[in-house]
Structure 1
């Protein structure tokens, strides 16, 4: 059986560099009726736990360490026993929110996570954050991009630990290598496709 994808939108505050902004985040659940993973445990552990239900939560996967993507992760892990996974290059960002609690495991480039008979390949895509990753599920025709690629272009790079030329290279080298029809499930807002963003990229600021 192939896994299905469920989207939960949670709301809270993104904080970095002394600023704060109200945000809505996409939390993604990938699994079947028995087991599931959560991609980006944002803001509301109660709502995420309810969405998981009676299923076994196998992992809490963080696309990067900004507070609005990980602020509910430790509480969700405490309740469910699921490990929190993060790319080690983003530990410096994670520690801004959770200095007292380390992630439980590391994500590696090209690592394959399996859930409900479905494989998700980790793609290290730095730029928005040094350890940002995307998760490509070829059998589902989707990629979960966190804040690396949105409907309308690259994620923000105007704050600490981010870099515009780096995010553009990540998108061009890693994400634009995926099939055009691949659906992009983003960290905020509406989705898009790789083909649509590739077609629009000629108008991006050049690094």
Structure 2
């Protein structure tokens, strides 16, 4: 987005956070053992290790910071790799959930799959 670029142009920096202890490394497709089948969906772009969690039996998708619902559905902001973030958003939209929960914004509970597909299609790489 145009408003993201000026933040970096004006020298905005974010201090590096200390490492976090890893209890369990996850990979794309890993089963998480809850929700009648919750699966890891690797969704890099916001960060290299970004994930979503998909519960296909229930049609539920937790997008993390890949997608935001602050106003219209949109690509999450402050991505380390915009191109990969857009690819991840499109991949998540392809899961066609009936309910989506976002890292930022209210859950989407109606017309979710078409709304995600539209937002992903309209997001420039």
TM-score (ref. length: structure 1): 0.47
Match in the other structure for 1:177: 94
Judging by fraction of residues, say which structure has more strand.
Answer: 1
Selected match of 1:147 from 44, 65, 76:
65
Tell me the SS of whatever aligns to 1:118: coil
Largest Rg, 1 or 2: 1
Match in the other structure for 2:25: 106
Judging by fraction of residues, say which structure has more helix.
Answer: 1
The structure-2 alpha-carbon separation of the partners of 1:194 and 1:153, relative to structure 1 and needing over 3 Å to count, comes to: farther
Match in the other structure for 1:120: 38
Name structure 2 gaps, 5 residues minimum: 1-12
Tell me the SS of whatever aligns to 2:104: coil
CA distance in 1 between partners of 2:50 and 2:43 (Å): 5
* Higher RCO, Cα 8 Å, sep 6+: 2
CA RMSD, aligned part only? 2.0
What are the residue-to-residue correspondences of 1:1-207 with 2, within 5 Å? 17-18=14-15, 96-97=17-18, 99=19, 102-115=21-34, 118-151=36-69, 152-157=73-78, 162-172=80-90, 174-179=91-96, 181-192=97-108, 193-204=112-123, 206-207=124-125
- Give 1:112 shift: 0.7
The structure-2 alpha-carbon separation of the partners of 1:124 and 1:202, relative to structure 1 and needing over 3 Å to count, comes to: closer
Name structure 1 gaps, 5 residues minimum: 1-15, 19-92
TM-score (ref. length: structure 2): 0.74
Paired positions, count: 107
CA distance in 1 between partners of 2:22 and 2:116 (Å): 32
CA distance in 1 between partners of 2:55 and 2:45 (Å): 22
Kept in 2: contact 1:146–1:187 (CA 8 A) = yes
CA distance in 2 between partners of 1:107 and 1:194 (Å): 26
- Give 1:105 shift: 1.0
